[in-house]
A and B are shown apart, each in its own frame.
Chain A
Amino acid sequence: QKEVEQDPGPLSVPEGAIVSLNCTYSNSAFQYFMWYRQYSRKGPELLMYTYSSGNKEDGRFTAQVDKSSKYISLFIRDSQPSDSATYLCAMGDDYKLSFGAGTTVTVRA
């Protein structure tokens, strides 16, 4: 069993829809939680960062962490074609990160 599970999709939504992404994990030592966005042929770029449990909002993006359920989510409101990318969840302890496989999202104009 992988340490981090993420549905690879693909996910296709119309412009303006809410995109919902999630990951589950098994390591209770994880305390840092991130979402990265990766465009085709580019390196991952940090989108959202959360320490421990709770919610964090940044513009159209909301990240949620539920440590009791070992479950994290990313919501994208009012999705735009420019949001079309692969989204990777990542989580870790003080030493290193573990990544999900990534979910490919396409927002149709």
Chain B
Amino acid sequence: DADVTQTPRNRITKTGKRIMLECSQTKGHDRMYWYRQDPGLGLRLIYYSFDVKDINKGEISDGYSVSRQAQAKFSLSLESAIPNQTALYFCATGLLGTDQETQYFGPGTRLLVL
């Protein structure tokens, strides 16, 4: 089984709808991240969490919210989706702050907002 899973893998929604993207991990990491990827812009950080009680905004958090339900689960919500939120969304877990610095990515969710 994959260490980091994301559901759904693909989603089409309409402007104004609320949607939730879910992420689960079995790596036992405390740190979890949500990114979006757009052509030419690379990966941009939306939110990150260092533990269940610690949520932090990234560089592009407007229009998004998150919930850390447990150490292993981190959900991203779009309260009222808009077309420019069409992108590829990645969840990642990490060991930042240790000497084995890295992040492990899920397979991504492809979101289309009509």
Contacts and interface: CB of A to CB of B under 8 A. Distances in A.
A30 B62 CA distance: 25
A99 B33 CA distance: 13
A42 B33 contact: no
A95 B96 contact: yes
Interface residues of A, number: 26
A4 B59 CA distance: 14
B101 A88 contact: no
Q: How would you classify the secondary structure of chain A's contact residues: helix, strand, loop or mixed?
A: strand
Interface in B29-76: 33, 35, 40-45, 48, 58
B96 A97 contact: yes
Contacts of B41: 101
Interface residue tally of chain B, by bracket?
20 to 34
Interface string B89-100: 010001011011
A94 interface: yes
Nearest to B99: A51
Contacts of B26: none
B101 A96 contact: no
Interface of A: 4, 6, 8, 32, 34, 36, 41-46, 49, 51, 88, 90, 92, 94-102
